[in-house]
Structure 1
Amino acid sequence: MADGHSTLPPTSAAGNLMDGELSSLLQVWSIAIALICYSYYVASKIAKGLPRLLSLFPVLFIFLLLPLNLHSFHFGGPTAFFLAWLGNFKLLLFAFDLGPLTYLPLPSLLHFAAVLCLPIKIKKQKHPEESKNRRIVEPIVLSVKILLLAIIIRLYSYRNRMNPAMIFVLYCLHMYIGIEIVLALCSLPSRAMIGEPIEPQFNKPYLSTSLQDFWSRRWNLMVPSILRPAVYDPTRSLTSRIFRPKWAQFLAMVVTFAVSGLMHELMYYYFTRVAPTWEVTWFFVLHGVCTAAEVAAKAAVTGRKIRWRVPRVLSGPMTVGFLIATARWLMFPQLIRNGVVESTIGEYYVLVNFMKDKFV
């Protein structure tokens, strides 16, 4: 496998690329801010339901188009996630007076914009002592994660000497730590702007003991908190009129995972600009079926005199092992095949060269 430095552009070219991408980023978010103002001042005053949905349709459509103006993973990826995924789903819920934009009063445009576009969830129950401890600990933890990410990026320089399995482990760690850092960097200023405690987005996913535990209680918790009211609840309500409650729950879970898979396909398109292969959709459909089967199995043994449970020392490695194996099979190949992993690694060095040119 090629060395991470070999694909880097010259320093001057790197600076031009970064300048152009920063200009595009500014333009994209200027348009997004204008659309957010429209949603807050105009659409929110329209009656909920179909009238408000129609008034928000131009915003939903433009939010899908804006990430196409960005080509770097680190600018385009978060922008696509914040606008095309979180922003659009929250606006769809808002059209019917549902979701985080209606859970709590939003007294200002700043509050509305932060909750709409950023991956944050305001805590309903406040614990002053816990919040104080988190304010102290979080910057330290964030610094450690940034250091770990820097080490991983440095290790990429030696990939040609590594076993493929070890390289894939680096990819998994990179994805997890990178996402955590991005979401943490968003939550820190958001807490200062809103003045409310923010729920953590990750809850030690490496300690998961089941797929249900991983997807609903530990991994990127902003997504399930949005998909539940937007997809799971209405699907279960509709299917329960036709099927038994257990089957309605099963179908609702699979449909929710399938929608998540389709949204990941959209994210992959923003990264690769090639036609979808549906591998990542099948990854989420597979996990939806397995998670639903897991929930059904747990329900089947609940209440019995003899309860059997897989010991944590086994369930943890089995869960993480299944996640890694299926990700290697279905989730990462498209990113590797289309050069996204290589370009993402190269972007770190481009950023370093850009910072040296500007400030050193």
Structure 2
Amino acid sequence: MEVESELKSLITVGLFTYVSLTYCYRIAAKIPKGLPRLLALLPVMIILFIIPINLHSIYLGHPLVILRVEHEPHFKSPHLASSLQDFWGRRWNLRVLETLRLVIYYPIRSVSIRIIGDRSSSLPPVFVTFAVSGLIHELLYYSILRAKPTWEITWFFVLHGVLVDMEIILKKKVKLRLHRAITGPLAMANLTLTSVCLVLAPLLRNRVDERIIHEFYLFLDFFLSLFPSKVYPRSLKFQKVIK
């Protein structure tokens, strides 16, 4: 990876992002809410996910584009979740959660109510929301790893979509409720185990930790090279690390 070419690609991606966000705020925001606005925003969402793939750096290539800048917290004490439904539905990544609700959950539930009735109408949209989130994360992983997808991160979200649906069904069928002192640790244990097996495994297998350290030294070496060696002398040990 050449730092100079990566920085040029970053400038190009930044310009595309600026133009796209300007379109969202100045033009798409004036379109009526609902399907018309979704169709107007959909091309921009696709572009914002695709163009960062031109970046090969782990630091720069992660296509997380924030479409709405808000000062509200993104997390709400996730370690205090009493269940998986509580974790995913009320505590984890709240801004993305709200977006997924508006774009996927609510439209699918409106259709689901007409087909299977109100009582079980939340089950299909919950599962589909998790599945779509898994595919989005798969794209994010590809932008980091640049390796053939193994679909582990997708299966992680599909699995949790099934588990949350099962939890919803059990809460409706079984009147006896366990105390959160029991359900909370069980939920955290579930998240920890599945995260290690399906979320962290592909990152470690592709040596992302080593790549992060290596790229850090590459960028540091590039920026230090902009200054005279007398101002920022580099040791022989540092020069060996970046090779």
State the TM-score bracket (shorter-chain normalisation). Answer: 0.7 to 0.9
User: Which amino acid is 2:13 matched to?
Assistant: V
Aligned to 2:7: 22
From the superposition, tell whether residues 43 and 256 of structure 1 become closer, same or farther in structure 2 (CA, over 3 Å). closer
Q: Which of 117, 120, 137 is matched with 1:244 structurally?
A: 117
Q: Report the alpha carbon displacement of residue 239 of structure 1 after superposing the two structures with TM.
A: 1.4
Q: Secondary structure at the match of 1:71?
A: coil
Aligned to 1:218: 91
CA–CA distance in structure 1, aligned partners of residues 25 and 210 of structure 2 = 40
Q: Secondary structure at the match of 2:215?
A: helix
1:279-310 deviation digits (Å, cap 9, x = unpaired): 21111011011112222322334xx5xx4323
CA–CA distance in structure 2, aligned partners of residues 47 and 308 of structure 1 = 44
Q: Report the alpha carbon displacement of residue 251 of structure 1 after superposing the two structures with TM.
A: 1.3
CA–CA distance in structure 1, aligned partners of residues 98 and 183 of structure 2 = 25
Q: Report the alpha carbon displacement of residue 354 of structure 1 after superposing the two structures with TM.
A: 4.7
Q: Report the alpha carbon displacement of residue 59 of structure 1 after superposing the two structures with TM.
A: 3.0
From the superposition, tell whether residues 31 and 340 of structure 1 become closer, same or farther in structure 2 (CA, over 3 Å). same
Q: TM-score, normalised by structure 2?
A: 0.80
Aligned to 2:239: none
Q: Report the alpha carbon displacement of residue 65 of structure 1 after superposing the two structures with TM.
A: 2.4
Q: Report the alpha carbon displacement of residue 223 of structure 1 after superposing the two structures with TM.
A: 1.4
Aligned to 2:177: 308
Aligned to 1:72: 57
Q: Report the alpha carbon displacement of residue 37 of structure 1 after superposing the two structures with TM.
A: 2.5
From the superposition, tell whether residues 56 and 212 of structure 1 become closer, same or farther in structure 2 (CA, over 3 Å). closer
1:64-89 deviation digits (Å, cap 9, x = unpaired): 32111111122211xx121xxx54xx
2:64 is the counterpart of 1:81: yes
Q: Which runs of 5+ in 2 are unaligned?
A: 233-243
Q: Sequence identity of aligned pairs in percent?
A: 43
Q: Which runs of 5+ in 1 are unaligned?
A: 1-15, 88-114, 122-197
The answer as to whether partners of 2:82 and 2:180 remain within 8 angstroms in 1 is: no
1:74-114 deviation digits (Å, cap 9, x = unpaired): 2211xx121xxx54xxxxxxxxxxxxxxxxxxxxxxxxxxx
Q: Report the alpha carbon displacement of residue 218 of structure 1 after superposing the two structures with TM.
A: 1.9
Instruction: Supply the RMSD in Å over aligned alpha carbons.
Output: 2.7
From the superposition, tell whether residues 48 and 253 of structure 1 become closer, same or farther in structure 2 (CA, over 3 Å). closer
From the superposition, tell whether residues 289 and 52 of structure 1 become closer, same or farther in structure 2 (CA, over 3 Å). closer
2:24 is the counterpart of 1:34: no
2:124 is the counterpart of 1:255: no
Equivalenced residue count is 228
CA–CA distance in structure 1, aligned partners of residues 37 and 102 of structure 2 = 18
Q: Report the alpha carbon displacement of residue 46 of structure 1 after superposing the two structures with TM.
A: 5.3
Q: TM-score, normalised by structure 1?
A: 0.56
Trace 1:256-335 onto structure 2 (pairs within 5 A): 256-301=129-174, 307-312=176-181, 314-335=182-203
Aligned to 1:338: 206
CA–CA distance in structure 2, aligned partners of residues 254 and 208 of structure 1 = 20
- Which structure has greater helix proportion? 1
Q: Secondary structure at the match of 1:247?
A: coil
From the superposition, tell whether residues 219 and 45 of structure 1 become closer, same or farther in structure 2 (CA, over 3 Å). closer
Q: Secondary structure at the match of 2:56?
A: coil
Q: Secondary structure at the match of 2:74?
A: coil
CA–CA distance in structure 1, aligned partners of residues 110 and 16 of structure 2 = 37
Q: Secondary structure at the match of 1:245?
A: coil
1:259-291 deviation digits (Å, cap 9, x = unpaired): 110111111121122332222111101101111
1:205-235 deviation digits (Å, cap 9, x = unpaired): 2222211121122222111111011111111
Trace 1:118-157 onto structure 2 (pairs within 5 A): 120-121=69-70
Q: Secondary structure at the match of 1:72?
A: coil
2:38 is the counterpart of 1:63: no
